[in-house]
Each structure stands twice: as C-alpha cells, then as structure tokens.
Amino acid sequence: MDHKEMNVWYKGMDLVERIYIISNEFPSEETYGLKNQISRAAVSVPSNIAEGAARKGNKEFLQFINIALGSLSEVETQYLLAMRLGYSKEDKELDELIVSVRKLLLGTRNYIRKTNA
C-alpha cells in the first residue's frame, strides 16, 4: 500500500506542519529541549505510517500504526506541557488535528486487525 494514498498519512503531515509553526514560538532556550522533542515526536507519526505501509505484511504494519499512536500521545502531552509552561496558547487547529489523526490511526488499526482475522 502506498502511504501517500492514505488520508491518515496526509493528516499526520498536517500535524507536523502545525507543530513546527507552533514550536517556532517557543523560547530559544527550548531549541534543544521541548521544541526538539515535540518536533521529533510529530515527525514520527507520518514516518511510522509510511514505514509500516512499506512493510511486507499487515502484522508489521499494525506494529508501526501502534508506534504512531504512541508518538501522537507524546505530541499531545508535550503540547499540553508547552501550554502549562506558557510557551504556547491553545491552538484549535492543532487540537482538531490530534483528534483527527488519532481517529484515523485507530480506524486503520481496526481495519488491519479485521483483515488479519
């Protein structure tokens, strides 16, 4: 399956773009801290979708979808931390992207599980 044909991958890419926009507002002392961490976690979401889609079987694809879900939870936690620390304000677009990507990842996971049954 070509990852570029998957809506979940496109939404993941949108998430990365939004995180980069938001994290550019973080203080300069966070360049190698929270800014780096949240950016890496965000990039991990579509990257794991792409890698999983390129694997030879659904079992491996499922593993990478689960990793992407974990990375998405990291992004959400780090975003909430950035707000608590005053580095960011609530961003409705990012909130919606997180929910959307999570739903798409869970849907993809459920689909893969059904096709393996």
Q: How many domains does the chain have?
A: 1
Q: What single letter denotes the amino acid at residue 22?
A: I
Question: What is the number of other CB atoms lying within 10 angstroms of the CB of residue 61?
Answer: 23
**pLDDT tens for each residue of the chain, 117 residues long:** 799 999 999 999 999 999 999 999 999 999 999 999 999 999 999 999 999 999 988 999 999 999 999 999 999 999 999 999 999 999 999 999 999 999 999 999 999 999 875
Q: What is the pTM of this model?
A: 0.95
Residue 111 belongs to domain with CATH number: 1.20.1440.60
Alpha-carbon distance of 72 to 92, in angstroms, equals: 16
**Tokens in use for 111?**
């689909």
Residue identified by tokens 């608590």 is 84
Structural domain harbouring 72: 3-116
Give residue 88's pLDDT.
96
pLDDT of residue 1: 74
